[in-house]
Amino acid sequence: MAGAENLTASEAAKRIREGSLTSEALVTDCLLRIEAREPEVLAWQYLDPEQALAEARARDKAAAGGLLHGVPVGVKDIIDTADRPTGYGSRLYDEVRPPWDAACVTAMRRAGAVIMGKTVTSEFAGFHQGKSRNPHDTKRQTGFSSMGSAAAVADFHVPVAFGSQTGGSIIKPASHCGCVGYKPSYGTFSLRGINPLAQATDTLGHFARTMDDVILFSQAMLGNPDFAAGGALRPNKVGLCRTAEWDTASDSVKAAVEDAAARLGKAGISVIEFAFPAEFEKLNDALLDVLAYEAAANFAYEYEFRRDGLSDDMASLVEKGRGTSLETYHAALDLAERCRRMMPDLLSETEILLTPSAEFEAPLLEEPMGRSQFIRFWSLLHVPVLNLVGPVGSLGMPVGLQFAGGFRGDQDFLRRTAWIEAALAE
């Protein structure tokens, strides 16, 4: 690739600001990449090239002021947009056009970004697989549910895109597709205008190809250029967190995590073994109870009155939630709260944790996609997690490295993962 589509968001924003690149030229090159690759990758639910180009031309006529001025952004199709359809990955809402933008889309417009289009999501960001394919091998999966955004970023359709995570829907697609995926601390970004799945853990995040872009995107979202500013921050201690699920990981995943730990050790970082108390082993099942219970309440209308338009997977989730007692739901929330209270003390001996992102490389389309057991409990703990691109595994597919930090410690967490990204690239 020789065009501007291979630029990072940070590089593109800088060139547009300096006048050496126009937004129209950048968006044109991205659209050419999409035209060439979309028939195989299937990352986009809605894309109007002329609409995107019109936005880019408008940015070129205006003074560059926002942090993402002229940079194209992908928007997951559970996020409302006033000027484009929002289908939530469901045939029930195909071509529905909300009369408003979600808060995060408004933030992007304020930052000067170009809304490229709507990326594919699984149905209501749940468990029914969407159409997107892995850009490294289109016979393989992308991971739930922010699949289109991860594929679009990894395949150079756009430099950055929105994702969301209730259980593992940012980290797993980032791992499988080979890009950076960031799920911030719960509540960092507004969810207004985003269709809810399970509000106890629903979290808005994003995909990029570099840590610089993750930080820039976060700054644009918050309207705060000082967020996580100051450059990469060298961690003193990294905890190697194998978790109780370690034996379920493939040899490629285990090797990638252990090699990363060894390389950080050689870089002078103190790498210590980190283990959770046994009570934390119940969190993965607890999250499924919470997710099902809240999804049943959130999709009561669709189940009661438009059941024929739901997939069997979505209907089964609602039915599971209806069969989950209030006592079970409260017990799951109580467990999560107890574990959250333990986290500051548990993390006092380290600054950041290293753990697998997924149990194996991207499976074939017809294979089971796995349980996301290395991801779900972090969502219930509400802490920030991030996938960095690891090595290529034995199947020739990316293997992700997941890092976790302390709740609301995102600024130092991002600066430390930026340092780690550079150290592992050497």
Q: Using pLDDT thresholds of 50, 70 and 90, give the confidence band for residue 94.
A: confident
* Separation of alpha carbons 97 and 245, rounded Å: 43
Task: Give the residue-averaged pLDDT of 321-328.
Answer: 98
The pLDDT of residue 144: 87
Task: Give the residue-averaged pLDDT of 264-273.
Answer: 98
Residue 268 pLDDT exceeds 90: yes
* Separation of alpha carbons 162 and 207, rounded Å: 6
Give start and end residues of each alpha helix (H) in 118-227.
147-154, 171-177, 211-222
Fold of 237-275+344-425: D-Maltodextrin-Binding Protein; domain 2 (3.40.190)
Arithmetic mean of pLDDT over the chain: 97
Question: What is the CATH class of 4-222?
Answer: alpha beta
| pLDDT tens track for 394-409 | 999 999 999 999 999 9
| pLDDT tens track for 9-37 | 999 999 999 999 999 999 999 999 999 99
User: Catalytic: 372?
Assistant: no
Q: Which of 10, 23, 90, 145 is catalytic?
A: 145
The pLDDT of residue 88: 97
| pLDDT tens track for 189-232 | 999 999 999 999 999 999 999 999 999 999 999 999 999 999 99
Task: Give the residue-averaged pLDDT of 282-289.
Answer: 98
What percentage of the chain has pLDDT greater than the value 90?
A: 97
Cβ-contact 183, 162 below 8 angstroms: no
Beta strand 180-183 pairing with 160-165: unpaired
Q: Which of 122, 149, 169, 311 is catalytic?
A: 169
Q: Using pLDDT thresholds of 50, 70 and 90, give the confidence band for residue 1.
A: low
Sign for the pseudo-dihedral over CA of 298, 301, 304, 309: negative
The pLDDT of residue 217: 98
Beta strands in 175-279 (DSSP E): 180-183, 203-208, 237-241, 270-274
Which tokens go with 176?
């499988």
The pLDDT of residue 17: 97
Predicted TM-score of the model (pTM): 0.98
Neighbouring-strand partners of residue 204? 164
| pLDDT tens track for 129-165 | 899 999 999 999 999 899 999 999 999 999 999 999 9
User: Catalytic: 14?
Assistant: no
* Separation of alpha carbons 259 and 67, rounded Å: 36
User: Catalytic: 90?
Assistant: no
Q: Which of 76, 118, 172, 183 is catalytic?
A: 76
CA distances from 348 to 142, 161, 201, 269, 378 (A): 35, 33, 24, 16, 17
Q: Using pLDDT thresholds of 50, 70 and 90, give the confidence band for residue 369.
A: confident
- In DSSP notation, 23-74 reads HHHHHHHHHHHHHHHHHHH--EEEE-HHHHHHHHHHHHHS---STTTT-EEE
What percentage of the chain has pLDDT greater than the value 70?
A: 100
Which tokens go with 375?
């991801």
Which tokens go with 315?
């209907």
Domain ranges of the chain: 4-222, 237-275+344-425, 282-330
Cβ-based neighbour number of residue 374 at 10 Å: 30
CA distances from 420 to 22, 34, 318, 332, 386 (A): 32, 31, 41, 34, 12
Q: Using pLDDT thresholds of 50, 70 and 90, give the confidence band for residue 95.
A: confident
